Amino acid sequence: MVEIAGDSLDLGHIPFRWIALRSVGNAGRVERVLLSPVDPPLWAGQPVLLDVRPGFFRLPWIARISLDDVRYGRAILERNPTSAEGWKLLIRGYGLRHKVAETTNATVEYARLYPADHDWSQRIAIGLGMTGYCGEMYRVLEPFIPRRTDYEFYVYVGHALACMKRTPEALVFLEKAKALEPKNWWADYEIGYLYFDAQKFELARPFLVRVQETRQIASVGRDLDTIEKILSLKRAREGARK
């Protein structure tokens, strides 16, 4: 965590600039960093967050400099504990730091304060689910279950539950989605792979066939080929026993 101690633009016509970074934890330590002209506007004297990469030959480089949303969010919430913008800054800052528990808890609290704003909470839930945090995804979506009855929401809840291996509950939500939009391929995809992952290939096949008829997804095609091979072997073994 650092703040920008100063911005030096004394490089003439050279399209780069130096800035001085002072560590928040050690005010006496200042490091100079060379930035390219495509870097975003800087905030002299304000706390910022650095995204530092190891770089080639172990020479670190800064991929991104952004305002420290956690510090700004906390400052806002100290003065106004129900500020929507303060909570959003806090959630975004936790997300950038990959603090999953804090991101989840703050989003659940935001949903409690602003139950009508389901879009923001859903966006965070999707991000958690895409990075494999299915339990956290479900925690964020759960408060909206009594209030939301749309196709998209049912599929997201079903996906989270399926990822958590809560198959019967996942099927309830995915079947609700299918009842709302029978021709939409998305719920078929989720149900198909729910059965596929459980190695229930006979049940998975019709759902994935419908997906492939609509979308022509290469990975689905490969998995259907795998299913056909498995089912053919199963039929051959059953025939040999007779």
Rounded CA-CA distance 67/93 in Å is 9
In the prediction, which pLDDT does 242 show?
67
Tens of pLDDT, residue by residue over 157-177, are 999 999 999 999 999 999 999
In the prediction, which pLDDT does 5 show?
47
Q: Same structural domain for residues 36 and 22?
A: yes
Beta bridge partners of 49: 66
More confident residue, 108 or 58: 108
* Backbone φ and ψ of 166, nearest 5°: -100, 65
In the prediction, which pLDDT does 175 show?
98
Q: Same structural domain for residues 85 and 155?
A: no
Mean per-residue pLDDT for 135-158?
A: 97
Residue for token pair 């399926």: 162
**pLDDT class of 142 with cuts at 50, 70, 90:** very high
Q: Same structural domain for residues 56 and 91?
A: no
143 neighbors 111 (Cβ within 8 angstroms): yes
**pLDDT class of 20 with cuts at 50, 70, 90:** confident
Task: Work out how many domains the chain is built from and give that number.
Answer: 3
Q: The domain spanning residue 102 has which CATH number?
A: 1.25.40
Q: The domain spanning residue 203 has which CATH number?
A: 1.25.40.10
Is residue 173 a part of any domain in this protein? yes
134 neighbors 166 (Cβ within 8 angstroms): no
Tens of pLDDT, residue by residue over 59-79, are 677 777 778 899 999 999 999
Is residue 222 a part of any domain in this protein? yes
Q: Same structural domain for residues 185 and 227?
A: yes
Q: Same structural domain for residues 52 and 122?
A: no
More confident residue, 144 or 96: 144
**pLDDT class of 240 with cuts at 50, 70, 90:** confident
Phi/psi region, residue 58 (left: phi>0; alpha: psi -120 to 50; beta: rest), is left
Q: Same structural domain for residues 63 and 75?
A: no
Q: Same structural domain for residues 158 and 106?
A: no
In the prediction, which pLDDT does 16 show?
63
pTM value is 0.80
* Backbone φ and ψ of 66, nearest 5°: -140, 160
Is residue 136 a part of any domain in this protein? no
Rounded CA-CA distance 189/56 in Å is 41
Q: Same structural domain for residues 114 and 63?
A: no
Is residue 57 a part of any domain in this protein? yes
Q: Which two tokens stand for residue 71?
A: 């510090």
Q: Same structural domain for residues 79 and 60?
A: no
* Backbone φ and ψ of 145, nearest 5°: -55, -40
* Least confident piece of the model among 16-25, 74-83, 144-153: 16-25
Rounded CA-CA distance 122/55 in Å is 34
pLDDT at 233 over 60: yes
Three-state DSSP string of the chain: CEEEEEEECCCCCCCCEEEEEEECCCCCCEEEEEECCCCCCCCECCEEEEEEECCHHHCCEEEEEEECHHHHHHHHHHHCCCCHHHHHHHHHHHHHCCCHHHHHHHHHHHHHHCCCCHHHHHHHHHHHHHCCCHHHHHHHHHHHCCCCCCHHHHHHHHHHHHHCCCHHHHHHHHHHHHHHCCCCHHHHHHHHHHHHHCCCHHHHHHHHHHHHHHHCCHHHHHHHHHHHHHHHHHHHHHHHHC
Rounded CA-CA distance 227/205 in Å is 7
Say what percent of the chain tops pLDDT 70.
86
Beta carbons within 8 Å of 32's beta carbon, 6+ residues apart? 18, 19, 20, 21
Could you tell me the residue range of the domain that residue 59 belongs to? Answer: 1-67
Beta bridge partners of 172: none
Max avg pLDDT among 8-22, 176-190, 224-238:
176-190
In the prediction, which pLDDT does 1 show?
45
Q: Same structural domain for residues 14 and 86?
A: no
